[in-house]
Chains A and B, each alone.
Chain A
Amino acid sequence: MSMAFRADDGWQGSTASMLGRWAMTAVFIVVLLVLSTFPFKIGHFGEIRPSFMLMAIYYWAIMRPSTLSPIATFIVGIAFDLMGGFPLGLNAMTLLIVQWGTRRQRKFVLGQGFIVLWMGLALVSLGAGLFQWAVYSGFHQNFQMGSLKPVLTSVIMTAVIFPLIVLPLSAFNKSLAERQ
């Protein structure tokens, strides 16, 4: 499976269209944030809990880095921390590291096919999951190996669902580009 991926250069144009794009992005992020906190309980599968925010931040860091500045990512992370009852700064830190690390590998991934983009997401998701688990356990000074299971399930869900999420993400990128 090979798909051509082209990145956008960034935001240009009038202040009005810039504000429009800013508002669209803000609404999109709020929806992603809510979806990340919503418990999908499907029949016998139980909970399905992929990390939508991580997918979006990874995708944008490669395809359209200007969509979300590090400051915006920090604010989104803090909001997620507050809403989820996490230690304050945990998601902000994880999302910033994901964004920063992915941007550094951006040029490499851009030249490759979809499979590489997908594999990259799976690796990033695993790294982020283990990092958050370690920091969270350290924060509460309570390391439980058993609690790694839901983390790994979430990592697998994130990787499996990613191709489906790429569609709305790329449609969103297109609509942003059209407004430019």
Chain B
Amino acid sequence: MVSHSPHKSVLQSLPMRTLTTRLTPAVLILLAVTLMVFHKMDALPVEQMRVALTDKMTPVMTAVSSPFVALTDSFDGIATLRQLRAENMQLREENVKLQKWYENALRYQAENQSFRELLNVKADPALTYVTTRVVSDPGGSFVKSVLLPVGTNDRVSKGNAVMSGQGLIGRVTEAGDRSARVLLVTDLNSHIPVTIQNTRTKAILAGKNTDLLKLERLPQDSGLTVGQRVVTSGDGGQLPPDVPIGVIVEVGAEGVFVKPLSEIEKITYVQVINADVDRGLSTGEISTPVDKHSSKRK
């Protein structure tokens, strides 16, 4: 008869495999913390790793998300006849107003061009753009960024301004061959040099991870009021000047807050603005009197 010691140590009775299984999560959590610390210290090539992965994943994401895009679009497409009539009426009224504005714009355009010629102004480079659909919006509740299925192959590069409909929504922070990540103006890390359109007061527009943006580094007694428009100043040379971003909606003790012109939560199509894009290919061109002027000078 073989007798077993009743006081066998815990380690001896625990199979090695169970011990490893129990330790693995702890080791991996520690590894994740270490990676985060290294990321914070900029000791890892995180940007290159991201670009490499998103370049590979963007075609997969486009393919997998296409049925959901169709689903979302069909939800958007459902509107009652009554809503459509109201919208139609509103659009007609708007069209009448816009036609008047168009007449004015043509007049100002001609006037502007003649003034530029008189003053011998050195024109800004022509703006061109690439229009594309947003593939993914991966950051969720924390990181306000979107992925685009265009990259350096389409002449999109780091620093390019990105617009949707009415105004600026962000800028390209990472560009791979076939994908680009856009940091939205609402992100905590977004700081854009801006100008208040009427007063030409300069400030920094900072994202707060909320719907509104905050104007920082304002000069004292800047005399800002609700309703004033905020545009890019072009300082730093990264973004083109005078791209509209938003409108001041709150001036109070807590600061001055700006509401973006574009409904950032609902963006589907965006335009990447690039001053150096070759004309032709898949790109469009924003024709402005400045374009004609600059080509004349060459």
Instruction: Establish whether residues B141 and A150, one from each chain, have CB atoms under 8 Å apart when the complex forms.
Output: yes
Instruction: Establish whether residues A46 and B266, one from each chain, have CB atoms under 8 Å apart when the complex forms.
Output: yes
> Which of B6-14, B23-31, B85-93, B107-115 lines the interface with chain A?
B23-31
Give the A-B pair count, Cβ closer than 8 A: 160
11 contacts between A and B (CB under 8 A): A34-B65, A74-B31, A78-B35, A85-B139, A88-B49, A89-B34, A93-B29, A96-B25, A144-B210, A146-B209, A150-B140
B residues within 8 A CB of A153? 141
Contact of A97 among B29, B38, B76, B136 (CB under 8 A): B29
* A132 in the interface (beta carbon within 8 A): yes
CA distance A150 to B3 in the complex (A): 63
Instruction: Establish whether residues B265 and A46, one from each chain, have CB atoms under 8 Å apart when the complex forms.
Output: yes
Binding site for A on B (CB under 8 A): 24-26, 28-29, 31-36, 38-40, 44, 46, 49-50, 53-54, 57, 60-61, 64-65, 68, 72, 75-76, 78, 134, 136-143, 145-147, 181, 183, 188-189, 208-210, 265-266, 268
For A146, the closest partner residue in chain B by CB is B210
A73, A78, A82: which has the most chain B beta carbons within 10 Å?
A: A82
Instruction: Establish whether residues B188 and A144, one from each chain, have CB atoms under 8 Å apart when the complex forms.
Output: yes
A residues within 8 A CB of B54? 82-83
Instruction: Establish whether residues A154 and B141, one from each chain, have CB atoms under 8 Å apart when the complex forms.
Output: yes
Residues 2-22 (chain A) with a chain B CB within 8 angstroms: none
CA distance A120 to B261 in the complex (A): 41
CA distance A70 to B40 in the complex (A): 24
For B29, the closest partner residue in chain A by CB is A96
Chain A: minimal CB distance from B247 (Å): 19
**Main SS at interface, chain A:** helix
CA distance A20 to B190 in the complex (A): 45
**Main SS at interface, chain B:** helix
CA distance A121 to B145 in the complex (A): 27
* A84 in the interface (beta carbon within 8 A): yes
Knowing that A85-B143, A85-B145, A154-B141 are A-B contacts, what are 16 other residue pairs whose CB atoms are under 8 Å apart, sorted by A's residue number? A31-B64, A34-B60, A35-B68, A41-B72, A43-B75, A43-B78, A49-B141, A83-B147, A86-B143, A89-B31, A96-B32, A100-B26, A133-B141, A136-B142, A136-B143, A144-B209
A residues within 8 A CB of B60? 30, 34
Binding site for B on A (CB under 8 A): 30-31, 34-43, 46-47, 49, 51, 69-71, 73-74, 77-80, 82-90, 92-93, 96-97, 99-100, 129, 132-133, 135-136, 139-140, 142, 144, 146-147, 149-151, 153-154
A69, A79, A88, A150: which has the most chain B beta carbons within 10 Å?
A: A88
Instruction: Establish whether residues A43 and B76, one from each chain, have CB atoms under 8 Å apart when the complex forms.
Output: yes
Instruction: Establish whether residues A83 and B25, one from each chain, have CB atoms under 8 Å apart when the complex forms.
Output: no
Instruction: Establish whether residues B265 and A99, one from each chain, have CB atoms under 8 Å apart when the complex forms.
Output: no
Contact of B142 among A34, A82, A133 (CB under 8 A): A133
